[in-house]
Amino acid sequence: MNRRFSVLLIEDEEHIRTIVEYNLGLDGFEVYLAEDGPTGLNIATTKEPDVILLDWMLPGMDGLKVLEKLKADQRTKSIPVFMLTAKRMMNDVGKALYAGADDYIVKPFEAEELGEVLRHKLESIVKI
């Protein structure tokens, strides 16, 4: 990896936050964590991560709403967003892409492979 990517994970499930932080950390990513949408939006504007992993099913403000807010804010609109999507929600993926998501990752995913997947997706989006 040519440089250190930073990732913001917005995910309400603690065990997913834990394994993603651990595995991406091992992989050399800088990881920020948020357990809900408002916290995630706040971190996105202050830390300006290279990519945001956004869970769709969040309590309160759901992922699609968070996505809309990210894309409506000048400070965060250009940050790539990958939606974390349960298999049963696959029919709705179009909605997220239409709302500005760059890609999606189907849950459950292999946390050990996430770094490689992310890097691959990022390198096709971010010119490095």
DSSP three-state, residue 57? coil
Residue choice 9, 55, 85, 122 for contact with Ca ion (CB under 5 A): 55
Q: Does 27 bind Ca ion (CB under 5 A)?
A: no
Q: Does 35 bind Ca ion (CB under 5 A)?
A: no
CA–CA dist 29, 18 (Å, integer): 14
The H or E element containing residue 17 is: helix 14-26
Please answer whether residues 92 and 99 qualify as being in contact, where contact means their C-beta atoms are separated by less than 8 angstroms.
no
- What is the phi/psi pair of residue 18, to 5°? -65, -50
**Closest separation between CB of residue 3 and Ca ion, Å?**
30
Applying CB under 5 A, what is the total number of residues that bind Ca ion? 3
Q: Does 57 bind Ca ion (CB under 5 A)?
A: yes
37 versus 115: smaller Cβ distance to Ca ion:
37
Q: Does 50 bind Ca ion (CB under 5 A)?
A: no
- Name the residue with the smallest CB distance to Ca ion: 57
Token representation of residue 49:
């991560």
Q: Which residues bind Ca ion (CB under 5 A)?
A: 12, 55, 57
